[in-house]
Amino acid sequence: MKMKDSVIIGRWQIHWMMLALITLCFASCKDDNEEHVGSFDPDKPIVVSDFIPKVGGLATRMVLYGENFGNDISRIKVIIGSYNIKLTISNK
């Protein structure tokens, strides 16, 4: 009888631990409506603080440094002279 009672108590302990773990996981999830770091804010200006290289030929890879670009490449457009520039995003 004691063996059966200890097995039942052990099962309930496992159930409560699993419930606590699941509750902790849901409580620690972030809300999707929170502002994401690096997202575009239309109330702030787009600022290009620097770029490298300062000189280069056709097809030279260029890096722009600045703020408020956003992360959605389809919504970012860079034109230098009359050339549209192909973009890749790096968060380094």
Which percentage of the chain shows pLDDT scores above 90? 3
* Highest mean predicted confidence (pLDDT) among 2-6, 10-14, 77-81: 77-81
Q: What is the pTM of this model?
A: 0.49
Given a cut of 80, is residue 31 above it in pLDDT?
A: no
Give the confidence band of 42 by pLDDT, cuts at 50, 70, 90. Answer: confident
Per-residue pLDDT, 3? 65
Q: Which residues pair with 64 in a beta bridge?
A: 51
Q: Concatenate the DSSP letters of all residues of 45-85 into one string.
A: --EEEEEE-SS--TT---EEEEE---S-GGG--EEETTEEE
Give the confidence band of 36 by pLDDT, cuts at 50, 70, 90. Answer: low
Residue linked to tokens 């956003």 = 70
